[in-house]
Structures are given as structure tokens and as C-alpha cells.
Amino acid sequence: MSPLFVFGAGVFLLLFLVWFVLGLVLIRENQVGVVVKRFTLGGRKLPDGRVVALEGEAGYQATTLAPGIHPFYWPFQYKVEKFPITMIEPGTIGLIIANDGAPMPVDRVLCGPVVCDDFQSAEKFLRGGGQKGRQSGILTAGFYRINPVLFRVVPSVPMTKIGSDKVGIVTVLDGAPMPTGQMAAKRTEGHEDFQNPDAFIQNGGCRGLQEQIILAGNYNINPWFAEIEQADLYEVPIGYVGVVVSFVGDDMKDISGEQFTHGNIVRKGGKGVWDEPLYPGKHPLNSRIMKVEPVPTTNIVLNWATARSEAHKLDEKLSTITVRSQDGFNFTLDVSQIINIGATKAPWVISRVGSVRNLVNQVLEPIVGNYFRNSAQNYTVLDFLSNRAGRQQEARQHINEAIREYDVQSVDTLIGDITPPPELMHTLTARKIADEQRKTFQIEEQAQRTRQELERQKALADKQKELLNAEQDVRVSEMRAKAAVEGALGDSLVMSRRAEGEALAKKRVGEAEAEVVAIRGRNEAEAIRAIGQAKADAYKLGVEAMGENYSMLQIFTVLADKGIRLTPDVLVSGGEKSASATDGLLAVLLRDVVKKPE
């Protein structure tokens, strides 16, 4: 053997001896140790009926070992049993059954509470008076070091879950007895919605069906203490109210009045018909201790007609009314009755008749049917056929007064089809046909008259067109003549004004010309006088200078200015013997030819 092996074996043997001598026990972190004592030096034994030792007796010990190393538990005297710790998963609870403890009272189903660190201290449980059997306390989600010898744990019990549109109806299995004559226990405070059984019992809670309900949510309720039944919220549809009839509650004062002898109406929470109805919506109610009677608040149409019923089916048992007339004929008629029940009057109606269907079958059906059977005896069939509106008005007034005392309002009464006997129908049909034929002839006669009038009016209209054209021509001629007259008057006025203007213009022009001529004459006279004066002065000076020769010079000048020749253009001389008068004539002709232009 190698020295290393020998050393290792020696160390192991030494540790074993130390472990054995010291009696060491190892408990891991996920374990709980339960000590079993094999014997005692004094020979003490457990009392009869006990399972777990509190005073060091031989047997299972109440105290458990926590994780770690524990000395002095020699194998020859002690045996340590190791159990996994108790785990309660989320969403569940753990129920506890104690295998040891004081006896449970005979009138109890669950053991009373004991402070014992959630059943993790067996010693506190036993010394505190813990009882044997099912415990009222529970374990919520988590880890627990519980002595499995003393306590048996029922894990993974689902929590109580109430849906969002549900309510929980509770039946308690433990507590004081239910008072005689009660079907449900009254509300008890302080038990946190039945999650604290001990508080419920200490506050006087009774076993059995509870008035109190629990609403939507999750609850840690011990199923050994209370059973939960889920029920739907009660929904009141639009157009309805719900009248609550409670079978439990305080015996409150009847507020219906002395004259109302059909039932008791109490305030909300009392026993009886509640005076305050439930309005449209969803309501959390305990359907085991109360019922809700729906009452329509809109107009209700009821048909007394065979094989015809409204959607509400309240009139499905009503049929066509058969009556006998004053003249002995049997005939049938369909009737429609429209009623309305006010929301605040609904509790009184339900307290009186129990339901709307009972109102129809037990109240309205006999009132309406008997009225028409009785009133028909005062009229003939022809009265109903010819004056149905009058009969309908009479029925409306009578039925309205009759059902008003039932807190119901009559909106209208309508008479539908009236079916007279066949033999009367033949007579009426023949009479009606004759009457219609007479009306037809009258209408045809009126049509012919209308046609004649139409033809006359058409002829008149045609002539009227010519007359209108002639009238229009006359009017046009009159308008043209009037226009011509107006034009002539206008032209005359224009010419007159123009003549006046021209005369005035000529007058002014004449005056201007006359003035110009006068001015010109004056100017010319002045000029002539000035010229004459100048000529006179010049002549005077010429005479002074030339004497008489000047006069001759002026004469020749004037003759020259006037174009007067002093010598002829052709001079014929007679100096030679051959010259004659003919020569003179030729000379004159030749002068004229020479002067003509080319």
C-alpha cells in the first residue's frame, strides 16, 4: 500500500469516528429534519392518543431540524428523517390536517386558530391548544418548513376565482346554527370576504347559505369552510326595469299604504318587493335568495287575434273575440290594446299580480274581452262596420278607466278586422255594389260634363287665340300710331327748336356781319378819306411843282391804269396809192391770230 492511500484512509476513519462520536446530522437547504427518539433514560413514553412528543418522550419529536449540521444526535438513540420542504405554487393554496392535538368540539367542522408561524412551529401549535383535524387556516403561495408527521398538507388547491361578469354565492360549512325560519344567514362583517373563517365565526356568522355575495376577483377561501357557486350578473335590458322580490331580509314596514292590500312593498334590503326597481344594466344579485321580475317600460302591444302574437309572447294565449250584436248576429273582431307600465309603478304592479304575464292573462284579457262582449249587445253589426271609430273611442275610454286602478296606463285601443256573418255579408255586398255602381255612374256623368266643358273651353281657347292675336295687332297699330304721333311731335319740336336755333344763329350772324360791314365801311371810309387826303396833298404838291403839266400827267396815268389805248394796234396809213381798206382788215385779223394761244 502506498503511504498516500494509508493517509487518506486514516483521515477518513478519523472523520467518521468524530462524526459518530459527536452525533452530527446534516440537513440541506431544501430539507426539513424530523427527529425520532428511540428511547429515553427515564423510560418516559407518549401519552395515549398522542403522536408527537413535546417533553422529550420517545417517538417523533415536535421540533424539526433546520438546514445545517446538528450535533449530539447519536444514531443509537436518534433517527433523523429528512423530508422536502413544503412548496405552495402561485395561484393555489395549501390545506392543513393536524394529526395530533386537542379534540375538536363536536359542533365544529374546522379547528380553531392557533398562532404557530403558519404551522411551521409544531411546539407552538400543540402548546397553544391546537386541535386535531382539518384546520381553518391555510397556506398561501411560498415555501414552508412544516413537520410532516404532525401536519399533512394538501397542496395545489386552486384559489377561488370569480369572473368579471359573475358573482359568487357563498354557502358556509361551519359556524353557528342558522336561526329558525331563515333560509340564508345575514351579513357578517370583518371576515374579509370569507377569507378569515375564524373572524367569521367569532363575529357570530352562521353556517348555511349567505345573503352576502362576493364579486369578481381572486380569493384565498378555504373550500372546507365555504363553498362558492358562481352565477351570472343579472342583466336588465334597455326598455325594462327589474322588480326585486327578496325572500330574506329584515321585516321592514310596508310602504304601499293601507288601501293597497295586494302585497307588501318595502325599502331596498328588506324582505318583500323592493320599492326601487333595477334600471337597465348588469347587477350583482344573489339569485338564491331573491328573484327579479322583468317589467317592460316601453309601450306593450297586445293582440286579441288568432295566430298572431308579438315578439314578447305575452299575448300568445289571446285569441279573436267573438261577440253577439243587438240584432242577434254573431261576429268576430280583432283588437289591439297598447299599455304602458311606468318604471316607478312597476313594483306595485308586480306586488299586485306577480308578473306581467299574469297581468295580461288575469286582468287585461277579461277586461277587454268582456267589454266588447257587453258593448256589442247595444249595437247592430252595421253600427260596428259603419262607425268603428266611434266604437273604438268608447272602448278606449272604458278600458283606460278600468285598468288605471292596476297602476297600468292604457295608451290606445284599436279595433282591427271585423268579420260579420256570411248571410249578412251577401246583403251588405250587394248593397255596397249597387252603391258603388251608383257612384260610378255619377262619376261617369260628371266625367262627361267635364269633357263637354273641356271641349267648350278648348274651342273658346282656340278663338281666344285669334282674339288675342287681333287684340295684339290693334295694340301694335295703336302703339305704332302713338309712336308716329310721338315721333311727329318730336320732329316738330326738333324742327321748331332747330328753326328757332337757326333764326337765332342767322340773326346773330347778320348782326355780326352787319357790325363787320359797318366796321369795314367805317374803316374803308377812313382809308378812302386818308387816301383822298393823301392824294389831295400829293396833287397839291404836284401842281405846285409842275403846274398845268401835272394835270395832264394825272390824266394819262388814269387812262393807262384803266387800259385805255391812245394809239391803235393797227395803223393804216394812206401815204401810198396802193394801200386800201382791205389791208387794214387783214392786219387786224393777223393780230388776233398772233394773240391766240397755241
* pLDDT for position 562: 63
The three state secondary structure string of 207-224 is CEEEEEEECCEEECCCCC
Identify the band that residue 306 occupies on the pLDDT scale cut at 50, 70 and 90: confident
DSSP string spanning 514-544?
Answer: HHHHHHHHHHHHHHHHHHHHHHHHHHHHHHH
Top-confidence residue, 392 or 499: 392
What DSSP character marks residue 164? T
Query: Which percentage of the chain shows pLDDT scores above 90?
Result: 47
Most confident of 18-27, 325-334, 423-432, 521-530: 325-334
Tell me, what's the pLDDT at 570? 52
Sign of CA dihedral 121, 124, 127, 130: negative
Residue whose C-alpha cell is 316738330: 492
3-state secondary structure of 484: helix
Q: Please tell me the distance from the alpha carbon of residue 216 to that of residue 512, in angstroms, as a whole number.
A: 127
State phi, psi for 266 to the nearest 5 degrees. -125, 170
CA 162-90-220 angle, to 5 degrees, is 45
Per-residue confidence at 310, pLDDT binned at 50, 70, 90?
confident
pLDDT of residue 588 exceeding 60: no
Mean pLDDT confidence for 175-191: 92
3-state secondary structure 449-479: HHHHHHHHHHHHHHHHHHHHHHHHHHHHHHH
For all residues of the chain together, what is the average pLDDT?
84
Distance between CA atoms of 486 and 490, rounded to whole angstroms?
Answer: 6
Assigned CATH class of 296-420:
alpha beta
Bridge partner list, 83: 32
What integer pLDDT is reported at residue 456 of this predicted model?
A: 81
Q: Note the pLDDT of residue 10.
A: 63
Neighbours of 91 (CB within 10 A): 11
Residue 421: closest CA among 286, 283, 314, 329 = 329
Q: What is the pLDDT, as a whole number, of residue 460?
A: 77
Residues paired with residue 170 on neighbouring β-strands, in sequence order: 228
pLDDT over 60 (residue 165): yes
* pLDDT band, very low/low/confident/very high, at 27 (cuts 50, 70, 90): very high
**Distance between CA atoms of residues 323 and 308, nearest Å:** 19
Question: According to the model, what pLDDT value does residue 233 have?
Answer: 96
Q: Which of 96-110, 323-337, 439-453, 534-548 has the highest mean pLDDT?
A: 96-110
Phi, psi of 328 (to 5 degrees): 85, 10
Average the pLDDT over 200-222 and give the result: 95
Which amino acid, residue 252? M
Q: 568-572: long-range contacts (C-beta < 8 A, 24 or more apart)?
A: none
pLDDT higher at 243 or 429: 243
How far from the centroid of its chain's Cα atoms is residue 52's Cα?
A: 73
Q: Which three cell numbers stand for residue 147?
A: 413537520
Q: What is the pLDDT of residue 459?
A: 77
**The pLDDT value given to residue 586:** 56
What pLDDT score was predicted for residue 46?
85
Cα–Cα distance list, 542 to 236, 272, 319, 493, 560 (Å)? 157, 172, 166, 70, 19
pLDDT of residue 87: 96
Q: Which three cell numbers stand for residue 275?
A: 320599492
Bridge-based pairing state of the strands 52-53 and 92-98: unpaired
CA angle 293, 253, 407 (to 5 degrees): 45
Check: CB of residue 200 under 8 Å from CB of residue 191.
yes
Residue 294: half-sphere exposure toward Cβ, Cα within 13 Å:
13
**How many CB atoms neighbour CB 46 within 10 A?**
16
**Distance from C-alpha of 285 to C-alpha of 249, rounded to nearest angstrom:** 14
pTM above the 0.85 mark?
Answer: no
pLDDT at 304 over 90: yes
Residue 231 burial by Cβ neighbours in a 10 Å radius (0-12, 13-18, 19+) = middle
Q: Are 295 and 341 in contact (CB under 8 A)?
A: yes
pLDDT at res. 476: 80
Instruction: Specify the pairing of strand 290-296 against strand 240-246.
Output: antiparallel
Buried-state track 253-277, b at ≥16 Cβ within 10 A, e below 16? ebebeeeeeebbbbeeebbbbbbeb
| Predicted pLDDT of residue 274 | 93
- The pLDDT of residue 578 is 45
Phi/psi at 364 (5° precision): -70, -40
| 292/215 Cα distance (integer angstroms) | 19
**Widest pairwise Cα distance in the chain:** 238
Q: Where are the domains of the chain?
A: 35-92+100-149, 160-232, 296-420
- Three-state DSSP at 59 gives strand
Contact indicator for 86, 142 with CB cutoff of 8 Å: no
